[in-house]
Structures are given as C-alpha cells and as structure tokens.
Structure 1
Amino acid sequence: MYKYVAYIDEAGDDGLKVIRPMDQSGSSEWLILSAVVVRAEREQEVKGWVKSIQDELWNYHSKTIHFAKLNQNKKLFVCDALSKLGARYFVVCSNKKNMLRYENPRASKIPSTNWFYCWLTRILLERVTHFVHWHSIKETGTPQKVKIEYSSRGGLSYSQMSAYYDWIRYQGDNTFLKAGKIYWEVLKYELLKVYAAEERAGLQLADVVASSFFKACDIYNTGACDPRFAMLLAPKIARFKDQAREKAAGYGVKLMPNLRTANLDPTQEEVFRYYGYPYEWWDPGSSNRKGQ
C-alpha cells in the first residue's frame, strides 16, 4: 500500500497564550516539527538502526533514545550516527514570539485542540509529500503512497489530525498560507498512524532531529544555543530534488517567520545561516498575517 514512511515528532510546545521570553513561566519560544523519511523497504531496518546506536552508547540503560536525556558527547555521537542512515530529514522551526495570543479564526473551526500544531504539520507535509511525489515518480514512474506515523507526545489523536486533513483538503490550495502545496496523491487516511515514541524506533529518530534543532536555537528552556548537533545532520537534511548544490533553507530546514522578522539572538541564527538562510531572505510564507 505504501513505498515510504515518514516519522513525525516535535520539540517545544504549541502554547501561544504566554511565551518566553516575554514571560519566563510561559511556553517555549519555539515549536519545532521534524520528519524522518525512509523507503518502505527499509522500514524493518529502522529498529535495528536504533538498537545499534543504543548498543554503542556507553553506560546507557534506557530502552529508548531520548535526545534531551543524553549528555553532550552522547548527543554528538547519536547525531553523527543519524548522518549516516538511509533516510532524509525535514524540520519546520516556528519562532512563536510574533504569534503571542494569536487565534486563527479559520483553524478554530477544526475539531482539534492542537490547531497550531496541525497548521505547522501542513507546512511540514508540503515538503515531505513533494519529496515523496518527486522521488517515487523518478523511481517508478507514478506517485506512490507514504505512511505517516506521528508521535502522540503532544496529545495528538488520530481523529484530530484526520479532521484537519479533511479541512485543508476541502480548502484545496486556497489556504491561509499561500506558499507550497500538499501532494494528496501520495497520502491516504488509512496510512495515518499515531504512536507513543516508545513503540516506534522511527519516532525516536525524529525526536533526535527535532530536539537537535531545538537545542540549536533555544536559549530559554535548554540553556545556551548549541548548533553542533543539528549541523551534524547535514548529509541527510533534505534538499530540493536531492540536489547537493541546492540549499536546505526553505525546504529541508524551514524557518517561520523569516530571519528578518523573527528578530533572533545572533546565536539563534547560526544554525539557519549554516543551512543557507541569508539575513535578507524573501520567503513566500512571510507575506501572510502575523509573519508565520
């Protein structure tokens, strides 16, 4: 039924009522979503990949890999290991300062309490489905399906995400965000799954990707920025049509809003500059309300 699998996880939270740094007791400044995409023929190898990484972690006794619980050296080792796997990585990094107390009147119609998460998922899926659509046509001549596995860590349910898919498909491409499109030919509701990260090795890989970028640009929840972990993932960060000469900025690494609007600390910008974002960055997504 499918030729690809995408594992999706997040770092940070989707709260908008109170946000750091405006309030130190508020929700995280960032919400970062990641996708790890593998061919379906390698799906059975993913558990072995994670087990192999765990076996190489000295004095590590957890049954799962959780980036936030690793020390610096273990984080570097794990990210280096991910840079060698047969996968492609995508991240959407939303700096939420300009979304403080924002309410989306359209999204409020969705029967979901996670509208902001759902909305960012759309941005992620624009890139994942484009990649799968292009890659499958290149390989087989026709679009092939991708199975989507979400982490349940953020309280997401199958019914909530299905309702959101129905909503954006009903809208077509005339959506709140004008940039990009979802390639519906590669999606199928029956291939949408929600799991606890402990149940799926692929979700643990997605946790590493999302959390490494969170660590690269967060200065309030995890201390000083450290972009080394996210930079190590560069060999597998997706680029348009897998062209090495293409920058990852805007495709494999999507920043919202753009660098100019986000008003980041210089240390927060480093990882985005590394992946190809200049300061003067024109981004189609920045023309919509609130800059996101």
Structure 2
Amino acid sequence: MADLKRFIAYVDEAGDEGFGKLGSDEPTAQSQWFSIGACIVSEDNNRLIVSWRDEIMSAFKNKNNRDLHFRDLKHDQRVHACATIAKKPIGACIVSSAKKTLLEASERDVFKKKQHLYNYLTRLLLERITDACSKRAAAIGEQAHLRVLFSRRKGTDYEQMRDYLRFLRDGREKLQPIRSIDWSVLDPEDIAVENHKVRAGLQVADLFTSAVWKALEPNGYGRCEDRYAREIASRLLKSDGNALNYGFTLIPPYSKCPLNAEQRSFVDWLIDRARH
C-alpha cells in the first residue's frame, strides 16, 4: 500500500447566495458574483500557516491583531497581504458564479433554494482540489488524503453538506457528471467547520477568495479591482500550466460568461500567462 500524502484545504466564500435586487445599486442589493475558494497546503506546511499569517500582520500598525480579514484591510494592505502569501508553498482554488445567469437557467428555482448554490460550487471546488492532490501525491508514488475545514457561516447546515457529498459519492445522481470528486482522496466524514478568527488557514482562504472575487464584483462605481487577484495568480492550481477551469473556474464557462471589459481583461491576462 502506498504511503499517504496528506493535505488540508481551508474553505471560505465571498459575496452571497441571494438573488433579491440582484445587480441593483441599492444598499440592500445582493452581490452579482458568489465565490467559494480554498487554500490548500500539505500537512507539513500546515504548521507554517500561522507564521505566514503573522508575517502579513506584522507589517500593519495593529500588530497584536491576529484576525486577518480581507474586508477590514485598506488597498495597500491587501496588496501587501496578497504579495506576501503568493511567495509561500500553498495552492489556491476558486469557483465563481455570475449569479444573474442562473436566473435565466431552467434550474433557476432550484438554485434559489437555501444553500443549493453553496453546495454546488463546493462540489466543483472539491472536484478540482481532489484531482490536484491526487496528481501531486502520485508524482512521488503516494496516495493523497484530504481534510477540509470550512469557515463557519451563519445559516449553513454542514451536516446537509456531508449528506450531499455522500449522495454524490454513492452515485445516486440521475445524470452522470462530467467530473467527479476523487473519493479515494476525500471522505465526507473528513469535513469540519471552525470560526474564521481562530484558524489562520481560514484567514488565508479568505484572502485568496476575496482577491479573486474583487476582480469580478463591480463596486459602487461599476469598477472591478483585479490587482489583488493578479498578485496571487501564481498560486492558483494549474492543469497543463493553465489555471482557467482548474484553479480559477467561472460559472458559466468563459465562452458563455457575461464579462465586462475589466473582468475579461483579467481572465485574458490569466490565460495569456499559461502561454508563456
């Protein structure tokens, strides 16, 4: 039996699942994009993640604060945080949904159900992460094993999440999926949940996920900010050198996604990086 190469994925989200007042400029409007992302580390490097978080925070005035939260950082602090974490041996994987396209889909009523979009994007995320872990372990003649830790969010039922994953694992879907989670790598029982502020890994996952979300979500002036995502792009998981649809996945796919000029510029830049 092959030795185990152990990995840990920390998962967080950016944006929201809501569809009310989608795309309006009202303060109560929901985000146009919803992203779920993860940072992935080997078990050996997991013991270093606290020091990576502290290295980022040490440059800020409030050095005693050990809760790194992207939304609380100023622009220059976000750039520094992303540039710092991009130098570490860590992987990132983000799945981002353009929610307004779901309103036009035949399954729109399904996606409006509580937690459905969250579960669906998590599935896509885990498909890619388990594949990457499996390949990484196989390259050194080992079998991959993955643990997943979610950042606790209000209103999310994580036992329902496990039930959904068991449903997929047991092959009870009516239609055969194009991809699937590698169940030799992940057991649904190896999923846990923790508060953001007590786990440095969850804070780093927030950094990656929010950086990419900012490249897609228009602000109050209709502009997107891709500087953060460009800083962390080197850490995105890649398949044959390409991060698109692996470390960074758009829903719907790039060819069908209604991107504005700024969003498309970022994705085109990401694609071009793979060619050089």
Alignment TM class, shorter chain as reference: 0.7 to 0.9
Does residue 1:158 correspond to 2:162, yes or no? Answer: no
Q: Unmatched 5+ residue regions in structure 2?
A: none
Inter-CA distance 172–248: structure 2 relative to 1 (3 Å threshold): farther
Aligned position for 2:144? 144
CA deviations on 1:10-59 (whole Å, 9 max, x unpaired) are: 10011234421497743111001111000011211111111121112234
In 2, distance between residues paired with 1:210 and 1:221? 20
Give the match for residue 285 of structure 1.
none
The 2-side partners of 1:206 and 1:81 are apart by 14
Aligned partners of 1:34 and 1:91 also within 8 Å: yes
Partner Cα distance (2:80, 2:195) in 1: 24
1:248 aligned partner: 243
Matched, 1:104 2:128: no
2:131 maps to what in 1? 130
Does the alignment pair 1:189 with 2:188? yes
Residue 206 of structure 1 corresponds to which residue in structure 2?
A: 205
Q: Which amino acid is 1:80 matched to?
A: A
Change (3 A) 1:142 1:269: same
**2-structure distance, mates of 1:121, 1:133:** 18
Cα contact 2:5–2:137 (8 A) shared by 1: no
Relative to structure 1, is the Cα distance of residues 154 and 254 closer, same or farther in structure 2, using a 3 angstrom cutoff? farther
Matches within 5 A, 1:81-96: 81-96=84-99
User: Tell me, what secondary structure is at the counterpart of 2:77?
Assistant: helix
What residue number does 2:234 align with?
Answer: 235
The CA distance in 2 between the partners of 1:164 and 1:13, in whole Å, is 20
Structure 2 residue 45 is the aligned partner of structure 1 residue 42: yes
CA distance, structure 2, for counterparts of residue 83 and residue 201 of structure 1: 15
SS of residue paired to 2:38: strand
Give the conservation status (yes or no) of the 8 Å contact 1:10–1:32: yes
Q: CA deviation at 1:165?
A: 0.7
Supply the AA of the counterpart residue of 1:169. R
Query: In the alignment, does 2:59 pair up with 1:56?
Result: yes
> Are residues 173 and 185 of structure 1, via their aligned partners in 2, closer, same or farther at CA, if it must alter by over 3 Å?
farther
> How far has the Cα of 1:60 moved from its partner?
5.3
Q: How does the TM-score come out when normalised to structure 1? A: 0.83
Name which of structure 1's ranges 130-139 and 156-165 shifts more when overlaid on structure 2. 156-165
Secondary structure, in 3 states, of the residue corresponding to 1:85? coil
> 1-side partners of 2:79 and 2:249: how far apart?
23
The separation in 1 between residues aligned to 2:163 and 2:17, in whole angstroms, is 18
User: CA contact under 8 A between 1:88 and 1:236: conserved in structure 2?
Assistant: yes
- Distance in 2 (alpha carbons) for counterparts of 1:154 and 1:222: 29
Whether 1:28 aligns to 2:31 is yes
Using the alignment, how far apart are the partners of 1:81 and 1:219 within structure 2? 25
> Does the aligned pair in 2 maintain the 1:90–1:128 contact within 8 Å?
yes
Q: Deviations over 1:86-115 (max 9, x none)?
A: 10111111111111281229x97xxxx311
Query: Would you say 1:257 and 2:270 are equivalent positions?
Result: no
CA 1:175–1:194 in structure 2 vs 1: closer, same or farther (change >3 Å)? Answer: farther
Amino acid of the residue matched to residue 145 of structure 1? H
1:266 aligned partner: 261
Equivalenced residues, count = 266
TM-superposition CA deviations, 1:114-151 (whole Å, max 9, x none)? 11100010111110000011111212x24221110011
CA contact (8 A) 1:93 1:254 kept: yes
**CA distance in structure 2 between the aligned counterparts of 1:179 and 1:223, rounded to whole angstroms:** 35
Over 3 Å counting, the alpha-carbon distance change for 1:29 and 1:162 in structure 2 is same
**Identity, % of aligned pairs?**
27
SS in 2 for 1:7: strand
Query: Which amino acid counterpart does residue 117 of structure 2 have in structure 1?
Result: F
When residues 22 and 163 of structure 1 are mapped into structure 2, their CA distance, relative to the original with a 3 A threshold, is: farther
Q: What's the TM-score once normalised by structure 2's chain length?
A: 0.87
Alpha carbons of 1:221 and 1:39: their partners in 2 closer, same or farther (altered >3 Å)? farther
Offset at residue 267 of structure 1 (A):
1.3
Q: CA RMSD in A?
A: 2.5
Unaligned runs of 5+ in 1: 278-292
**TM-aligned CA deviation for residue 253 of structure 1:** 0.8
Letter in 2 for 1:115: H
Q: How far apart in 1 are the matches of 2:222 and 2:63?
A: 23
165-174 vs 143-152, which moves further: 165-174
